């Protein structure tokens, strides 16, 4: 059983559309990280959220940490083909990183 | 800085063969980790090290050995390869405290794709 559930597993949308990726758990995390991974490369950190209810923005990407620190979301506004990739969330629990299975995102031009 | 480097990029083994996956970092990071990534399962921690001479097991350590004789290098050894070890392997490094949520980042290598026949 995955401790950190990501949804959807796969998403293919047209350029310009908005989307949201979710990361859910029954565990309380001390912080949560979002990574993006492109084919043939390792994951690259996008953001870390620490405080319950925290919202961070990275250009067209908005990250939110749930009030109870059990869940997080990534919202992309006006998606572009360059946003294509595998998005991974990872929660910090007892000094260990717990990884979600990832959301594969394809943005079609 | 080259960051985290991994060799080889791709390897094919026969069942029962042994090999070492190399990982090196030039950022003077204390923490280093090995993960495997399989479709639909995310990243799973194999072994990690919090400093030279110190290693510990992760979630899926069976069939793998590690050592950390220097800060820079953290090789992963497959003792007797099995088809279940077919995967993409990533090495990562970070500075302590790696997991306190204060913007500390894990830096990943480009991965080694391993196929065991």
pLDDT digits (tens, 9 = 90+) for A39-91: 889 999 999 998 999 999 999 999 999 999 999 999 999 999 999 999 999 99
CB A40 to CB B110 under 8 A? yes
Residue A80 is classified by DSSP as: -
Judged by a CB distance cut-off of 8 A, whether residue A58 touches chain B is no
* Interchain contact, B101 vs A41, CB within 8 Å: no
Question: E strands of B58-101, at which residues?
Answer: 64-66, 76-78, 87-94
Nearest to A51 by CA among A74, A68, A73: A68
Task: Name the 3-class secondary structure at A54.
Answer: coil
Chain B residues within 8 A of A97 when measuring between CB atoms? 45, 99, 106
Is B103 at the interface with chain A, CB within 8 A?
A: yes
Question: What is the CA angle A28-A30-A34, rounded to 5?
Answer: 95
A6 pLDDT higher than 50: yes
For residue A70, what are its two tokens?
């059990």
B47 to chain A, closest Cα gap in Å: 12
Q: Are A74 and A62 in contact (CB under 8 A)?
A: yes
**For residues B113 and A21, what is the distance between their CA atoms, to the nearest angstrom?**
27
Cβ-nearest to A101 among B40, B90, B108? B40
CA distance B7 to B20: 9
Backbone phi, psi, residue B85, to 5°: -95, 0
Tell me what the pLDDT averaged over chain A comes to: 93
Residue B16 tokens read as: 């029962």
Helix (H, G, I), strand (E, B) or coil at A13: strand
| DSSP state, residue B99 | T
Q: Which residues in B lie closer than 8 A to residue A88 (C-beta atoms)?
A: 42-43
Q: How many CB atoms lie within 10 A of CB B113?
A: 16
Confidence at residue A1, expressed as pLDDT on a 0 to 100 scale = 53
Compute and round to an integer the Cα radius of gyration of chain A. Answer: 13
Choose between B64 and A93: higher pLDDT: B64
**Does the CB of B106 have a partner CB in chain A at under 8 Å?**
yes
Measured CA to CA, the distance from residue A46 to residue B115 in angstroms comes to 30
Nearest of A100, A86, A97, A80 to residue A23 by alpha carbon: A100
Residue A26 at interface with chain B, using a CB cutoff of 8 Å? no
List the pLDDT tens digit at each of the 117 positions of chain B.
789 999 999 999 999 999 999 999 999 888 999 999 998 788 999 999 989 999 999 989 999 999 999 999 999 999 999 999 999 999 999 886 554 445 567 899 999 999 999
pLDDT value, residue B95: 80
Q: CB A99 to CB B44 under 8 A?
A: yes
Is the CB of A100 inside 8 Å of chain B's CB atoms?
A: yes
């Amino acid at each position: 059983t995955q401790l950190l559930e990501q949804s959807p597993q796969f998403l293919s949308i047209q350029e310009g559309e908005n989307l949201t990726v979710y990361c859910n758990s029954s565990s309380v995390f001390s912080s949560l990280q979002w990574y993006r991974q492109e084919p043939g490369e390792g994951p690259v950190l996008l953001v870390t959220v620490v405080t319950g209810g925290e919202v961070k923005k990275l250009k067209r990407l908005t990250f939110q940490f749930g009030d109870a620190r059990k869940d997080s979301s990534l919202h992309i506004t006006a998606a572009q083909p360059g946003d294509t990739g595998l998005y991974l969330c990872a929660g910090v629990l007892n000094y260990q990183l717990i990884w979600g299975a990832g959301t594969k995102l394809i943005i079609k031009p | 800085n080259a960051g985290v480097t991994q060799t080889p990029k791709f390897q094919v083994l026969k069942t029962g063969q042994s090999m070492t996956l190399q990982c090196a970092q030039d950022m003077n990071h204390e923490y280093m980790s090995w993960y495997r990534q399989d479709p639909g399962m995310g990243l799973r921690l194999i072994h990690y090290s919090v400093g030279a001479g110190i290693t510990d097991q992760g979630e899926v350590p069976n069939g793998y050995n590690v050592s950390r004789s220097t800060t820079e290098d953290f090789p992963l050894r497959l003792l007797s390869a099995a088809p279940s070890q077919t995967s993409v392997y990533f090495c990562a490094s970070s500075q302590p405290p790696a997991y306190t949520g204060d913007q500390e980042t894990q830096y990943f290598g480009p991965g080694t794709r391993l196929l065991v026949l």
